[in-house]
Amino acid sequence: MESLTISDWLLTELKLGRFPPRMPAHRRVYETIRRAIASHHLTPGTRLPSTRSLADALGFSRNTLLAAFEQLHDEGYVVSQTGSGTRVAKMLPEDYAEKNTLPTATNTTITANGLSVRGTVAAGLVDQPSYEVQPFAPGEDDFSAFPTQLWRRLLNRQWRNPQPAHLDYGHAGGYLPLRRAIANYLRMSRAVNLTVEQILITSGTQQSIDLCARLLTDHGDRVWIENPCYWGARRVLEVNGLQLHPVPVDDEGMAPGNADFRRPPRLIYTTPSHQYPKGVVMSYGRRRLLLDYAASQGAWILEDDYDSEFRFEGRPLSSLQGMDQSGRVLYLGTFSKVMYPGIKLGYLVVPPNLAESFKRGLYELQRPGQVVIQAALAEFIEEGHFASHIRRLRQIYGERRRLLQKALAPVTSVGARLPPAGSGLHLVIELPPDCDDVRVAELAAEQGLHVYPLSGYGIGEHREKGLIVGYAYAATERIAPNGRILADVIRAALSH
């Protein structure tokens, strides 16, 4: 097209009104010229009129034309050279993929769902479905024990006159008064040996494990995990590219043997106070063995103390961290089991020599926040509400546990076993090795009871069989009748 013809053609196209009424003028000019180039009405190498002449012909300001031409230039539709004006580019953005062979990735595996292998693991699309902690009596989540009115008052108190720092990202590992309150609580209740500087506030156990994996390991490092193991920890460690080494669990907790000792790990993940999911407590001798081995190998132990508040029988157990003399244990805790799951606050106690690095790493990687909630939680603890709430929950959960054990007792007559359970938020029903626990769980689901097969938490071919039955968030009045229904399902399944 000649320059005059181009001007007339553009004016005609603009007057056809094919654009949204509020589209800016420079955008309408840009879209009109771009379409003409893409449809080859303006062929490669065609010289466009100057912005000044087009402004006069179209009735727009020159700044409007300059803005449109600048966008066309930035996106590769036109090129400008001194002395030759602005011309349509010879290689258009749409033509690039057709005329250039893009390199094929050779070091990335793309799965059928379009995700990377790591993304598939993170999304929970392999091995087994994601399990929640409280499977019993679905649809009857009971948070009525939580003092919501009191919690609302504490939050409102913070929001009436919020400090600027409360609206910023969390710095220095979290809100200092909350870290002090946690330190006092852990010293008294769990015999954790710590200073306030060793505490970091996280968004929960998952983030704590992820931070430890990112800062203490490299891709391909070995990590010991319990077998069976908490699925959430396993998934986070897998996604970080670590080599999982399952270690069996017996009646004394994590039970490494000679073959395990010959494959020293970088990390050891364990739940010593109440193994998840089997519920056993790690013995003193096994704790001492694990601590000595970690110190000799330079390994780090991640102690997940996820439900330590709920011990119903016997004396309170000391933490593994409190026994550590070599500074090899990182202690993980959460408020989700005591307050409510959605609070998404936890804490991580690290050895003194790691404290500053972990605080910097937490800030750089996560940009933590929720400082207003942290401030309200600090007052909740300092004013004694936290301790009172735990005492009340112990009574409620203790009663639910008693009712569930009584209702499930008949299953022992057909070869199932109910191991002692002096703490925690769930029971384990051990089933014979030849039992299909997945099928038993399906039969329970047909009765409206979602329990989980123990084999789903195992790693490898030889997996223990059983059912995981939670009672924390099931209404108390439904525990006994639902427990009897479950017992009938199990007895029928094992009798065939």
Structural domains in the chain, CATH included, are 3-98 (1.10.10.10), 124-131+144-384 (3.40.640.10), 388-495 (3.90.1150.10)
Q: Which sign does the torsion angle of CA 16, 20, 21, 23 carry? A: negative
Question: CA of 344: how far to CAs of 205, 224, 333, 389, in Å?
Answer: 9, 26, 11, 18
User: Is residue 353 over pLDDT 90?
Assistant: yes
Residues 165-195 pLDDT 10s: 888 888 889 999 999 999 999 999 899 999 9
Mean pLDDT of 339-347: 90
Residues 136-173 pLDDT 10s: 644 444 577 889 999 999 999 999 988 888 888 888 89
User: Is residue 295 over pLDDT 60?
Assistant: yes
The mean pLDDT value of the chain amounts to 87
Among 93-97, 112-116, 232-236, 423-427, where is mean pLDDT lowest? 93-97
pLDDT at 137: 46
Q: How confident is the model at residue 278 (pLDDT cuts 50, 70, 90)?
A: very high
Mean pLDDT of 439-456: 91
Dihedrals phi, psi of 343, to nearest 5 degrees: -65, -30
User: ∠ CA 203-208-209 to the nearest 5 degrees?
Assistant: 135
Share of the chain above pLDDT 90, in %: 54
Closest C-alpha among 465, 410, 457, 461 to residue 436: 465
Q: What is the DSSP letter of 308?
A: T
The residues near 274 (Cβ < 8 Å, ≥ 6 apart) are 280, 281, 306, 307, 308, 423, 424
pLDDT at 210: 96
Distance CA 298, CA 10 (A): 73
Backbone region of residue 191 per phi and psi (left: phi > 0; alpha: psi in -120 to 50; beta: other values): left
Residues 378-418 pLDDT 10s: 999 999 999 999 999 989 988 999 999 999 999 999 999 99
Distance CA 375, CA 4 (A): 70
How many whole angstroms from its chain centre is CA 447? 31
pLDDT at 466: 95
Which residues are bridge partners to 423 per DSSP? Answer: 311
Mean pLDDT of 7-35: 80
How many whole angstroms from its chain centre is CA 452? 21
State which H helix or E strand residue 87 sits in: strand 85-88
Q: How confident is the model at residue 376 (pLDDT cuts 50, 70, 90)?
A: very high
